[in-house]
Chains A and B, each alone.
Chain A
Amino acid sequence: SQQGEEDPQALSIQEGENATMNCSYKTSINNLQWYRQNSGRGLVHLILIRSNEREKHSGRLRVTLDTSKKSSSLLITASRAADTASYFCATVSTGGGNKLTFGTGTQLKVEL
């Protein structure tokens, strides 16, 4: 079953604009991770945020986490055509062992 639900399911923006994707989850977590998947490829880890953190940055990526609302957001600033991909949030649940459960994903298209 899906732990996380991403919103929106699809997003189309122009190059240079910012892209924001949201993720909601259901259980208490140890950490939340974001992954990118280019078409026909495997998933690639982007960034991890721990349950006791509220915000984290990595290059053009900014992730926030609100454990009270069980939600996270991924912001990609100054988007590029190469950012076109699907983005997934994934959670490690408290007491869930070592399982990483993925959300449904957001398809991002960045147009020139």
Chain B
Amino acid sequence: DAGVIQSPRHEVTEMGQEVTLRCKPISGHDYLFWYRQTMMRGLELLIYFNNNVPIDDSGMPEDRFSAKMPNASFSTLKIQPSEPRDSAVYFCASRRESKTGELFFGEGSRLTVL
């Protein structure tokens, strides 16, 4: 099993530019989560999907952030326009439908907005 695959691993961009982060969950997993990790705020849940449908996006910081899951094997997190305070590591995680909820994380996308 390839695990959760994220791209790019590193992204450096300038303020105002559009950023798109990509995630391929583990095949057969029903849930997909996007987290953001910073030193100041720790790990924050941004949004999660169940069977490709967004269930809870209350953690999405602003309208500049959007996430989609067009099919079971692909999700994107887009920031437009990006700002320096968006600099963080963005993680995608997936899991099966179960009562326990063990998450499988990707290696993360480190975003730096100059």
Footprint of B on A, CB under 8 Å?
2, 30-31, 33, 35, 41-45, 48, 50, 88, 90, 92, 97-105
Contact = CB atoms under 8 A, between A and B. Distances in A.
A43 B105 contact: yes
B56 A99 contact: yes
B55 A97 contact: yes
Residues of B contacting A: mostly: strand
A28 to B, nearest CB: 15
Interface of B: 4, 31, 33, 35, 42-43, 45, 48, 50, 55-56, 91, 93, 99-108
Contacts of B103: 33, 35, 43, 45, 90, 100
29 contacts: A2-B42, A30-B99, A31-B100, A33-B101, A33-B102, A41-B108, A42-B4, A42-B91, A42-B105, A42-B106, A42-B107, A43-B91, A43-B93, A43-B103, A43-B105, A45-B102, A45-B103, A45-B104, A48-B101, A50-B100, A90-B103, A97-B55, A98-B50, A98-B55, A99-B48, A100-B33, A100-B45, A100-B101, A102-B42
